Amino acid sequence: MYLFLTELVQVLCYYFIFAKCTSVQEQKIVRPPMPIVRNDTHIPPYWLPNGHFQSIYPALFRKIEDVFYERERINTPDEDFLDLDWALNQQKADIVGTPLVILSHGLEGSTSSQYVLGMTRLMTRSGYDCLAWNFRSCSGEMNKASRFYHSGATEDLDLVVQYAIKKGYRSVYLIGFSLGGNLTLKYLGEQGSELPSEIRKALVFSAPMDLKACSMAMIQPRNRVYMHRFLKSLRPKVDEKARLFPDKIDIKSGRFVKTLYDFDHIYTAPIHGFRDADDYYAQCSSMHFVENIGIETLIVNSENDPIVPIASLPSDVIARHDKVFLESPAQGGHCGFRPSVLSGGIYWSEQRALDFLRSA
């Protein structure tokens, strides 16, 4: 925590002193012409003046302690496992008549991430069951296989979806955050017309649809606090995997990892069968799959997201799509969206999701 706070002070000093902390109005952001459901309804607190504050504050200081999961472990075809965390709605209705929300977290997150807990709390209070699933290695226990999770591992999401449908759910909604958002969009596009009919709608927040553009954004001085945080979490996992699978993972190569791009080039790509980082980004960026999405899908990405540049979104493709919509509030940061008026502890993104799922 001390190291993270030190890095935070450094990035904020850079932001204010060198970047001059330009406001959203001063940045001259041009909104691309595309279908928009609703826009600029998010107003952050005055004391969270930019995308960095709006991203970091919820991650550090939001605490949700009234969500209680029931964990279930399922096996994967490659003799690994996924840990699923269930939270049932307070009405305790029959499964067949109860809608289910499947939540996919972000890079090095988990079902305990505050944005997942906040969404789960509101949805269960509103009559939805929730299934928040942990990516491989993210549930608190290292997975068995030599592989981890990655931005395009849609086979795991499909396994979770099929499992939920087999349990009897007939109305399923997908919500993804950051990496989980890219994963969700890629899954929808891959499935296309073959998508299970039980899936009604999908919604993603802060999804890195162009993985290379977002990886390059991380290298910028003002964004290194995020990159260092991710690498600090990823490195011990690689060390453990290297001890378990010394013939597949070269731990000595870790000394060359300085950025997320390096990590993806040296570890993510070869472990998961990609040629290199660029090949991994090209094959797994959801921007290449959006055109084939066949259900109503809302993409929410703030214009001041420090990790996902608004210009990296495939605006031309979305503009032509009749089922995929982009909402780009001026502020909100990366998976932030704390409102200026906090009613019942509900964040703007959570209320927005509920409104979207309930809309005709």
Residues with a known catalytic role: 178, 305, 334
Residue 95 burial (CB count, 10 A): 13
Q: What distance in Å separates the CA atoms of residue 86 and residue 13, rounded to the nearest whole number? A: 41
- Across the beta sheet with 70-75, what order do the strands follow? 70-75, 81-87, 129-133, 100-104, 172-177, 199-205, 296-300, 324-327
Position of tokens 């012409």? 33
Q: What distance in Å separates the CA atoms of residue 287 and residue 210, rounded to the nearest whole number? A: 6
Residue 201's identity, in one-letter code, is K
190: tokens are 């891959």
Residue 46, helix vs strand vs coil: coil
Q: What distance in Å separates the CA atoms of residue 149 and residue 128, rounded to the nearest whole number? A: 27
The answer to whether the beta carbons of residues 102 and 174 sit under 8 Å apart is yes
Contact residues for 104 (Cβ-Cβ < 8 A; gap 6+): 133, 135, 157, 174, 175, 176, 177, 180, 181, 183, 184
Contact residues for 113 (Cβ-Cβ < 8 A; gap 6+): 105, 106, 177
Residue 292's identity, in one-letter code, is N
With 0-12 CB in 10 A as exposed, 13-18 as middle and 19+ as buried, what is 354?
Answer: buried
